[in-house]
Amino acid sequence: MNRLLKSRELWLALAILAVIVLVTLRFPRFSQPANLLTIFNDTSILMMLALGQMAVILTRSIDLSMASNLALTGMIVALTNAAFPFVPVPLLIAGCVVVGAALGAFNGVLVWKLNIPPIVVTLGTLTIFRGLAFVASGGTWVNASQMSADFIQLQRGMFLGLPILSWFAIVVALLVYVLMTRTPWGRAFYAIGVNPVAAVYTGIDVGRTKFLAFVLSGALSGLAGYLYVSKYVIASTESAGGYELTVVAACVIGGVSIAGGIGTVGGAILGALFLGVVNNALPVIGVSPFWQMAISGAAILLAVVLNASSERSKGRIILKKAEVAA
Amino acid sequence: MSDTTVTARQLPDRLDNPLKSAVLSWESLLVLVALGIFLANSFASPYFLNAWSLSDLTFNFTEKGLIALAMALVIITGEIDLSVASIIALASTLMGLALQYGADTPTLVAVGVGVGVLCGAFNGFLVTGLKLPSIVVTIGTMSLFRGVAFIILGDQSFKGYPKEFSWFGQGYVGWVISFELVLFLVAAVIFYVLLHRTVFGRQVFAIGNNATAARFSGVRVDRIKFVLFCLTGLMSGIAAVLLTARLGSTRPSIAEGFELDVVTMVVLGGVSILGGAGSIIGVVLAALIIGLVTFGLGLLNVPGIVMTIFTGSLLIVVIALPILWKMWKERRA
């Protein structure tokens, strides 16, 4: 019970609930299931990106190139679809994941083999990937009329009352959850985040593990690339502009420690949902959408203050004798 | 012959030849890169080698370069400030607001610079007072500062800055030498002295190499970091004055993406993103290189977004090459 009270996920869930309740008091229709499901669906892409970012941040790295990766793979898949409408969409989605993973692997290799700090690498690829999206499209947009019906409709299909897009997020969340908690891979992410030196002594290859985290975040960015393009039915160079930091924000709000080693799948999802709910609530209560940015900024600062105070109490005295002696 | 047992620690007979180490330094690599790009530009476009073209070129990096000077110090201490572009947006917006209340030019400048310092102090307080990681804090204030600018301005813009005010961004001190360029060069000299010739500068390096050791040797780590965040805010405020004066209008989206360009300049300039190493000369050269690349590509009608491929690749290649070179040498040895 004590642990539950201290859990970040619980408080975040309560905060989200509080926002929903407050808005509902004025606008009862806000909390109708249909609207809540729409919010969930609208936040799905951010959730998947946040999960990828979390894996990277756990290893004491950061991936600033996710949004650009999304824009590039989104553009590539949209162009492919426009040029070869007969290629089945599931194949295109698989292609997106592969392309995204390859872009992530590029980041990962530079971090792993050349030891360049991740923030420098992804700062570079952030501009490179988005620039390539422009080159690939020649600066034009791919719009609805050029996309095949399947391409647009696949993620809008309903299954058990939820759009396929939401199912994508749910399945990805489950897979990442299993990966993080039930596989050596996932545990290695945490291990090198908590203590890289100790991780080496337990036989974990730190560089390789970071590489895998970047491949994961790349693959999820690639998947998000297709979903983003087909959701908004447009592929442009500016797809998901500014998202690179929103994704980091979702993680931080979700309690993922930027210092590495701390973070949960539930936290990252709730962090993304919090941003989604707030952004959805603002227009409803008549606050200008121009407030959105300042509010998410304030939320990040509040979250990081809370993160810091919960992380600081982590220290534990292992040797009782030493304590007495001191 | 004397005993040949070699002790583990040998003092070299002489230090590395200073000339040799200067030739092999990061700065000389940057000079070569800059010269190469300069030559390539001269061949690629007939409009490049012209006093006014070269003068226009400087506007490509002066504002960002001013911030990069202060950012270099912040990064050397192992911190980072991603909110600089948003500080520009907020400072510019509040200048515009002051203008609506009939502020004159000196007041406008004071507002811009003052807002910059206050924003920097806010970052500094969060990082040193509350002991929060600067990368997250400044991602937060990045949204917050620009967010406030959006709240004030929405989709509107402020225009109608007085003529004397425009001089800061459009004026020339003499012939083709702009005020912005002079200010940048003066600031570069000041920052050079501050970082490389003062106790304060040595303390900045000490913090970056080992903050705990620095603290135990009596360096007031938190105070210095706080001052550096204020300094970065100050430079962002000054950049806001220049940019607003140059553009003649304020939108909340002003200077969007500047933060990454500034960090690119600093890292390209040889400042270690892990802290503890770097030089102002390198940062100035890197600012020049970025200016040369973007201006040269602009003359060739390359769209801005494609230019970012070049700057991004430049960043990675320039950092990766020495590492690859070292790995190759080690493999041969």
Predicted confidence (pLDDT) per residue in A310-321, tens digit: 665 555 555 555
CATH number of the domain at A7, please.
Answer: 1.10.3470
pLDDT at B1: 40
For chain B, domain boundaries? 52-317
Residue B215 is encoded by which pair of tokens? 């603290």
SS3 of residue B59 by DSSP? coil
For chain B, the average pLDDT equals: 87
Q: Chain B residues with CB inside 8 Å of A275's CB?
A: none
Of the candidates B309, B62, B160, which has an alpha carbon nearest to the alpha carbon of residue A68?
A: B309
| Contact (CB, 8 A) for A244 and A67 | yes
pLDDT at A281: 84
**What angle do helix axes B179-196 and B280-299 make, rounded to 10 degrees?**
150
A150 has pLDDT over 70: yes
What single DSSP character describes residue A290?
G
CA dihedral B231, B233, B237, B240 (to 10 degrees): 120
Best probe of the B interface among A123, A238, A256, by most B CBs < 10 A, is A123
Q: What kind of fold does domain B52-317 have according to CATH? A: ABC transporter involved in vitamin B12 uptake, BtuC (1.10.3470)
Determine which of A40-49, A67-76, A145-154, B238-247 has the lowest per-residue pLDDT on average.
A145-154
pLDDT at B160: 86
pLDDT at B304: 76
Which chain A residue shows the shortest CA-CA distance from B156? A290
Average pLDDT score over residue span B99-119: 93
Largest CA distance in chain B: 88
pLDDT at A323: 46
Q: How confident is the model at residue B306 (pLDDT cuts 50, 70, 90)?
A: confident
More confident residue, B87 or B302: B87
Average pLDDT score over residue span A158-187: 90
Is A117 part of a structural domain of the chain?
Answer: yes
Cβ of B309 within 8 Å of Cβ of A116? The answer is no
A215 has pLDDT over 80: yes
Q: How confident is the model at residue B7 (pLDDT cuts 50, 70, 90)?
A: very low
Is the CB of B131 inside 8 Å of chain A's CB atoms?
Answer: yes
Q: How far apart are CA A301 and CA A211, in angstroms?
A: 29
Amino acid at B94: L
Which chain B residue shows the shortest CA-CA distance from A252? B136
Average pLDDT score over residue span B233-260: 90
Of A127-131, A235-239, B294-298, highest mean pLDDT: A127-131
Q: How confident is the model at residue B273 (pLDDT cuts 50, 70, 90)?
A: confident
Determine which of A60-74, A98-112, A113-127 has the lowest per-residue pLDDT on average.
A113-127
Is A323 part of a structural domain of the chain?
Answer: no
Q: How far apart are CA A253 and CA A269, in angstroms?
A: 10
pLDDT at A325: 45
B307 has pLDDT over 90: no
| Contact (CB, 8 A) for A148 and A81 | yes
Is the CB of B156 inside 8 Å of chain A's CB atoms?
Answer: no
B9 has pLDDT over 50: yes
B197 has pLDDT over 90: yes
Instruction: Annotate A105-136 with three-state secondary structure.
Output: HHHHHHHHHCCCCHHHHHHHHHHHHHHHHHHH
Q: How far apart are CA A157 and CA B110, in angstroms?
A: 57
SS3 of residue A259 by DSSP? coil
pLDDT at B204: 95
pLDDT at A1: 52
Is the CB of B148 inside 8 Å of chain A's CB atoms?
Answer: yes
B181 has pLDDT over 70: yes
- How many alpha carbons fall within 13 Å on the CB side of residue B6? 5
pLDDT at A226: 92
pLDDT at B202: 94
pLDDT at B6: 47
Q: How far apart are CA A139 and CA B306, in angstroms?
A: 10
Q: How confident is the model at residue A169 (pLDDT cuts 50, 70, 90)?
A: very high
pLDDT at A324: 46
Give chain A's domain count.
1
Average pLDDT score over residue span B215-222: 92
pLDDT at B325: 83
Cβ of B303 within 8 Å of Cβ of A301? The answer is no
pLDDT at A116: 85
pLDDT at B3: 45
Is the CB of A301 inside 8 Å of chain B's CB atoms?
Answer: yes
More confident residue, B171 or A69: A69
Average pLDDT score over residue span B311-331: 83
Predicted confidence (pLDDT) per residue in A194-204, tens digit: 888 888 898 88
Taken in order B46, B49, B51, B54, the sign of the CA dihedral is: positive
Residues 102-141, chain A, touching B (beta carbon < 8 A): 110, 114-117, 119-121, 123-128, 130-132, 134-135, 139
pLDDT at B128: 94
Q: How confident is the model at residue B4 (pLDDT cuts 50, 70, 90)?
A: very low
β-partners of residue B250 are B158
High-pLDDT (> 70) share of chain B, %: 93
Amino acid at A77: V
pLDDT at A306: 79
CA-to-CA separations, A45 to A186, A220, A229, A279, in angstroms, rounded? 22, 9, 11, 14
The domain in which residue A79 lies consists of 2-312
pLDDT at A153: 78
pLDDT at A326: 41
Average pLDDT score over residue span A253-282: 88
Q: Chain A residues with CB inside 8 Å of B316's CB?
A: 110, 116, 120-121, 124-125, 128
Average pLDDT score over residue span A165-193: 92
Is the CB of A287 inside 8 Å of chain B's CB atoms?
Answer: no
Predicted confidence (pLDDT) per residue in B40-64, tens digit: 888 888 877 788 888 888 888 999 9
